[in-house]
Structure 1
Amino acid sequence: MNVLLLAGGLGTRLRPLTEHMPKPMALVINRPWLEHLILHLKEQGVQRFVIALKHHPEKIKTYFGDGRKWGVSIQYAVERELLGTAGAIKNAEPLLDDRFVVINADVVHDTELKPLLEAHERHGGQVTIALKEVEDPTQFGVVELDETGRILRFVEKPRLKEAPSRLINAGIYVMDKKVLAAIPSHREVSIERETFPALIEGDAGVYGQRIEGYWADMGTKDRYRSLHWDLLRGASRLPVPGQDDGDGIRMGKGCKIGPGVLLVPPVLIGDHVRIGARSVIGPNVVLGDQCVIGPNVRLSDSILWNKCRVHEGAHLSNCIFGYGLELGSRHILHEAVMNRTGVMQA
């Protein structure tokens, strides 16, 4: 059984970070999220992947190639025009097994596939949808189930008092290939608004299975930041890189930390990072590989990707910097999000 990773979305809510890259390639604790995901699934025995691409497909193809560096096999299905979630699956149909797993590749999670596959075998339907219970379902597609786990209907972004449950579509599906006959070719099709409701109405057998563990949509800047703080605090089984000092500070290899530097946990420091004297780093800071932080800098609640430079006396709070950005001396930034071309968005 192979796994289809949907990685073709535009990532509009995470711009400007995703202006020139697919959202699943955004760094999560100093590694592209898509790489985390592939390695997590490989640990569960998945060896064959298909990746659905649209937005800057060359970035993913160049990075992963045929997958052999990671000990897996990767094929690609590229959309010539936006096809939506169901259309992307239909476009990949020639590469898919008779039964396959679909995963939205821009959701951060540590889901185990085995319970989903076992549930799919038990109920005998054609689709199993992973369901996650959340406190506030109003920003998601909420499902109503019967006592057997069969899904009766979807309610998209309901008001809290109108939500039939707190179980949301987690963006992970086990599917029998014959259901793809219900998806039209060569046009945009939403799996949530068109395909699943049609399959439910046609009594194809669409079931839900609750999943446990960590799950977070990284689609907005606030969610992107908060999932990092979750991971640094150990909320997920996903591995956090660096050597743990036992007090919430994780540091990569080859780092140089100046005198009088204060690290306030949780902090993740990548490889070959330099931090100047008397700087205060943290709480809630991620520094990518080869970042250079000058003296007397103050960083909090911020994420800097690889090769960023922050000069003497600058202050950053609630910021996200893309690759290779530079901030001059004594600048003060709050809630700034900047991509590698320097475009800033408050």
Structure 2
Amino acid sequence: MNDILVTNETTLMDTMKILDQSAKQFIVVVNEENKLQGTVTDGDIRRAILRGLPLNIPISEVMNPNPIYGFSKRTMEEHRLFMQQHNVKQLPLVDTDKVVRDVLFYENIISTKRRSNTIVLMVGGLGTRLRPLTNDLPKPMLPIGGKPILENIIMHFKSFGFVNFILSVNYKKEIIKNYFQDGRSFGVTITYIEETERLGTAGALSLIKEDIDEAFFVMNGDLLTNTNFEQLLDFHLVNQATATMCVREYEYQVPYGVIEVNEHKLASIVEKPVQKHFVNAGIYVLEPEALTYIPKNQYYDMPELFNCLIQQQKDVSAFPIREYWMDIGQLKDYERAQLKYKEKE
């Protein structure tokens, strides 16, 4: 338990490090007497990043100061029912003086169930920028650590209990279909939609024949990431979004001094400033309703869908990815991904 306890004065940066080191993805904030002050979840951290808060602020400015907690003297069955009633996955346990005695995790009480949410993987691209590697193989089948990129993606989803996949195929589709077939040998279920013409990152969704009645994932099939898909889905559901886009922070340095003017007067000169922006990371969670806005059999990209939903005043969320993420778009990216995998071995 001590590995997930921090004090009010612990910085946001240090809390992030502790959160990442812990497999529990949950932090309890206490005072000098070990009394409960608040809690911090992965979602709290990501919302702080979206707000642009500095990393040196105390975690007390980010934490939930009124967390749900239980009393350590109660039975395990009482804790289980209490967590179900309040729909919480983590429960700090305190004594009558509100001193933290333990932290209970719902996943340790019940066995993990397979999740029914569908994952749609876009794997029909030509991989033009990766030629000659893609002359004979579709890009998602290029090996990373001895396994195709696509297999790495599927197995990462599976590690969170997601086992229902739809692959949107086109270029050299038979290679993908012959390798994965119905997914049974990988412990998952796989069906396919086939693009006879280029339909973009959203247009292919109009070809789905399965009935989708709950939130589902859409992801580009050329990404490598350690994103926690369980947390992504929770974030989407908690925010009651029609669509959620994963975003990455991208920064670049302007190679010149940037001038600010006030009418004819020079107001300031900032030498080679660093600009920061959030960019599309190619991973999405959509509600079934979003499918109704996609035109049938037309080229349509995911940013167009999101702009449409925004114009329709639907709730659209951004989920910042803090974990490892790489788009295998060019040869240098593929080489970097190979090196990154070797570092993890």
TM above 0.5, one fold?
Answer: yes
**Separation in 1, partners of 2:246, 2:138:** 24
Radius of gyration: which is bigger?
2
**What amino acid maps onto 1:216 in structure 2?**
M
Q: What's 1:217 paired with?
A: 327
Q: Tell whether the 8 Å contact from 1:137 to 1:168 is kept in structure 2 after alignment.
A: no
Rounded Cα–Cα distance in structure 1 between residues aligned with 2:207 and 2:274: 35
Distance 1:31 1:11 in 2: 18
Distance 1:184 1:162, change over 3 A: farther
Unaligned 5+ segments in structure 2 are 1-116, 255-271
Task: State the Cα deviation string for residues 178-208 of structure 1 (Å, max 9, x = none).
Answer: 111111111111112x211111111111110
1:55: Cα distance to partner? Answer: 0.7
1:200 alignment partner, SS class: helix
Output one character per residue of 1:133-157: Cα deviation in whole Å (capped at 9) or x when no partner: 233499xxxxxxxxxxxxxxxxxxx
Q: Give the alignment of 1:1-346 within 5 angstroms.
A: 1-92=117-208, 94=210, 96-136=212-252, 165-192=276-303, 194-234=304-344, 240=345
The aligned residue for residue 343 of structure 1 is: none
Cα contact 1:98–1:178 (8 A) shared by 2: no
Measure how far apart 1:223 and its partner are: 1.1
Tell me by how many angstroms 1:98 deviates: 3.0
Structure showing the higher helix proportion among its residues: 2
CA distance in structure 2 between the aligned counterparts of 1:130 and 1:93, rounded to whole angstroms: 25
User: Residues of 1 paired with 2:122 and 2:141: CA distance?
Assistant: 12
Kept in 2: contact 1:84–1:190 (CA 8 A): yes
CA contact (8 A) 1:135 1:166 kept: yes
Any conservation in 1 of the 2:253–2:273 contact (CA below 8 Å)?
Answer: no
Question: SS at 1:121's partner residue?
Answer: helix
Please give the secondary structure, in 1, of the residue aligned with 2:133.
coil
- Once the two structures are TM-superposed, the CA of residue 233 in structure 1 deviates from its matched residue by 2.0
Q: CA RMSD in A?
A: 2.1
User: Kindly tell me: are residues 97 and 64 of structure 1, through their superposed partners in 2, closer, same or farther at Cα, counting changes over 3 Å?
Assistant: farther
For normalisation by structure 2, the TM-score amounts to: 0.58
Q: Name the TM-score, length of structure 1 as normaliser.
A: 0.58
Shift in Å, 1:97 = 4.1
Q: Determine the C-alpha separation between the residues in 2 that align with 1:73 and 1:105.
A: 17
Aligned in 2, Cα 1:109/1:136: closer, same or farther, shift over 3 Å? farther
Task: Tell me the distance in 2 between the aligned counterparts of 1:137 and 1:161.
Answer: 6
Q: CA offset at residue 94 of structure 1?
A: 3.2
Q: Structure 1: any 5+ residue segments left out of the alignment?
A: 139-159, 235-239, 241-346
The aligned amino acid for 2:334 is: Y
Task: Answer whether contact 1:52 1:77 (CA < 8 A) is retained.
Answer: yes
Distance 1:58 1:121, change over 3 A: same
| Conserved 8 A contact 1:106-1:219 | yes
2:31 alignment partner in structure 1:
none
C-alpha distance 18-202 of structure 1, shift in aligned 2 (>3 A): same
Identity level (%): 36
Deviation for aligned residue 1:103: 1.1
For residues 83-102 of structure 1, give each alpha carbon's deviation from its aligned partner in whole angstroms, at most 9, with x where no partner exists. 01011122225354432111
Query: Structure 1 residue 79: deviation in Å?
Result: 0.7
Q: Distance in 2 between matches of 1:125 and 1:31?
A: 34
Segments of 4+ moved more than 6 angstroms: 160-163
- Going from structure 1 to structure 2, the CA distance change for 1:137 and 1:77 (only over 3 Å counts) comes to farther
